[in-house]
């Protein structure tokens, strides 16, 4: 393998905690470990430019301002003289853009100027994020969704290759006019999560878990109402919601209104081994999200040996195989969700069997496996652009 200079551009990075950030960190660290040079460009937490080394990776933080309706997300200009100068000195063999906003456009523009091949990864179902636009009458309009698809189509089709993490998402993108799409799953730190693999499946107080971004499009209230339904039969059941995001206050209000304070707990974001240990201490992972392009938290949960229950929508059925490593339920149907959770609660041996199946499924997404695929794609893309 020839060592490469890889420049990564992303509008989402530390200190944010989400699937995009996890993927970039996992892959970048392994690429660096294998001898490649990696340069990351991302938004700063404020308006100041910073050139730092984090976990052995050089990161250029570009000045930004927060999105008014979701301050975890940053807005940047699509140009920076400092980044352009450093990028030219870095002399990238390939530019990888992970988001279609200010930093993403910067990467695309400078790659073209340097005649460098570009890979673009479609991580997030952009039209579903219109609710965070600070323009009320646009948020829910069909016209706005069409514009969002046209915008992202225009960005990604300028890339030499487009990757997306699941077959379901590939089909969705092709349906909306994208081309040159390759399925490249996101990577998980399988070793860290599997180190805490669940050993005990007989528990007096079964614990449900959701972890990840606590945002409105994740539909976490569906899980809360499923829990309330289940509590009519099992008073020891609990749900932990781990993470941060704009929906925390809204969900806490629901918990208070439904008098579920003794059964629903909110946990601040955890990192790496602390997160892995936390996940493994629960019995079932549940997600009601309808926007997943892969669902890293599902694979991470499976790596710890716990079964998963999720919506039968978009990419989730690519991960949760009905009756094998978990169960699927109809979107927004808390009663159906509760039924599937109850099947697992009643049968510890089924939880154990599904947990073991989940571990084997999650193993395919280990950093080693995915980075090997990534290296091959990078090399092929560079070669085809010589």
pLDDT digits (tens, 9 = 90+) for 313-339: 999 999 999 999 999 999 999 999 999
Q: How far is CA 148 from CA 10, 130, 153, 260, 298, in A?
A: 18, 8, 8, 38, 27
Residues 354 and 309: their CA atoms lie apart, in Å, by 11
pLDDT digits (tens, 9 = 90+) for 58-82: 999 999 998 766 667 788 989 999 9
pTM: 0.89
Closest CA to 294 of 149, 192, 172: 172
pLDDT digits (tens, 9 = 90+) for 239-287: 999 999 999 999 999 999 999 999 999 999 998 899 999 999 999 999 9
CA 146 to chain centroid: 23
pLDDT at 69: 65
Is the torsion defined by CA of 113, 118, 124, 128 positive or negative?
positive
**Mean of the pLDDT values across residues 184-202?**
90
Lowest mean pLDDT among 104-108, 190-194, 196-200: 196-200
> Does residue 168 register a pLDDT over 80?
yes
Residues 348 and 117: their CA atoms lie apart, in Å, by 51
Phi then psi dihedrals of residue 54, to 5 deg: -120, 125
pLDDT digits (tens, 9 = 90+) for 90-109: 999 999 999 999 999 999 99
Beta carbons within 10 angstroms of residue 50's beta carbon = 12
Q: Residue 15: is the preceding peptide bond cis (ω within 30°)?
A: yes
**Mean of the pLDDT values across residues 199-222?**
90
Query: What value does the mean pLDDT of the chain take?
Result: 92
Residue 133's pLDDT band, with cuts at 50, 70 and 90, is low
Q: How far is CA 42 from CA 83, 113, 253, in A?
A: 10, 19, 34
Burial class (CB within 10 angstroms; exposed 0-12, middle 13-18, buried 19+) of 377: middle
Instruction: Report the share of the chain in percent with pLDDT over 90.
Output: 78
pLDDT at 137: 46
Q: Which domains does the chain have, with CATH numbers?
A: 5-187+366-384 (3.40.50.2000), 190-363 (3.40.50.2000)
Residues 57 and 41: their CA atoms lie apart, in Å, by 11
Q: Could you tell me which residue, 251 or 199, shows the higher pLDDT? A: 251
pLDDT at 12: 92
> Does residue 32 register a pLDDT over 50?
yes
pLDDT at 363: 96
Lowest mean pLDDT among 34-43, 66-75, 160-169, 302-311: 66-75
**Cβ proximity of 82 and 60 under 8 Å:** yes
What angle do the packed helices 334-345 and 220-231 form, to 10 degrees? 60
Q: Where are the beta strands (DSSP E) in the chain?
A: 5-9, 37-43, 50-54, 57-62, 65-67, 70-75, 94-97, 118-121, 161-164, 181-183, 207-211, 238-242, 264-267, 284-287, 308-311, 326-329
**Mean of the pLDDT values across residues 159-180?**
93
pLDDT at 67: 76
> Does residue 51 register a pLDDT over 80?
yes
């Amino acid at each position: 393998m020839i060592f490469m200079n890889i420049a990564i551009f992303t509008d989402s990075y530390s200190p944010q905690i989400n699937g995009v950030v996890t993927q970039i960190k996992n892959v970048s660290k392994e690429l660096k470990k294998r001898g490649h040079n990696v340069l990351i460009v991302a938004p700063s937490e404020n308006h100041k430019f910073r050139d730092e080394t984090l976990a052995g990776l050089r990161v250029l933080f570009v000045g930004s301002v927060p999105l008014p309706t979701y301050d975890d997300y940053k807005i940047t200009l699509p140009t920076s003289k400092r980044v352009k100068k450093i990028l030219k000195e870095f002399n990238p063999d390939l530019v990888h853009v992970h988001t279609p906003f200010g930093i993403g456009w910067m990467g695309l523009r400078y790659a073209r100027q340097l005649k460098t091949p570009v890979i673009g990864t479609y991580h997030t179902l952009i039209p579903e994020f219109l609710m965070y636009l600070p323009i009320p009458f646009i948020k829910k309009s069909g016209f706005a969704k069409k514009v969002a698809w046209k915008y992202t189509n225009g960005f990604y089709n300028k890339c030499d290759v487009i990757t997306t993490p699941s077959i379901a998402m590939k089909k969705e993108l092709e349906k909306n006019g994208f081309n040159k799409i390759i399925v490249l799953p996101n990577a998980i730190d399988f070793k860290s999560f599997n180190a805490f693999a669940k050993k005990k499946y007989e528990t007096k107080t079964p614990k449900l878990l959701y972890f990840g971004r606590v945002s409105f499009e994740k539909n976490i209230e569906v899980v809360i109402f499923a829990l309330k339904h289940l509590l009519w039969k099992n008073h020891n059941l609990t749900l932990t919601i781990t993470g941060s995001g704009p929906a925390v206050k809204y969900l806490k209000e629901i918990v208070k209104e439904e008098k579920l304070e003794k059964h629903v707990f909110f946990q601040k974001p955890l990192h790496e081994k602390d997160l892995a240990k936390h996940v493994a201490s629960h019995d079932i992972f549940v997600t009601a999200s309808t926007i997943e392009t892969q669902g890293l938290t599902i694979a991470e949960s499976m790596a710890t040996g716990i079964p998963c229950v999720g919506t039968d929508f978009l990419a989730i059925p690519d991960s949760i195989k009905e009756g094998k490593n978990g169960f699927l339920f109809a979107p927004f149907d808390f009663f159906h969700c509760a039924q599937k959770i109850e099947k697992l609660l009643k049968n510890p041996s089924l939880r154990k069997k599904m947990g073991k199946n989940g571990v084997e499924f999650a193993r395919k997404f280990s950093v080693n496996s995915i980075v090997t695929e990534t290296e091959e794609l990078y090399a092929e893309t560079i070669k085809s652009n010589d």
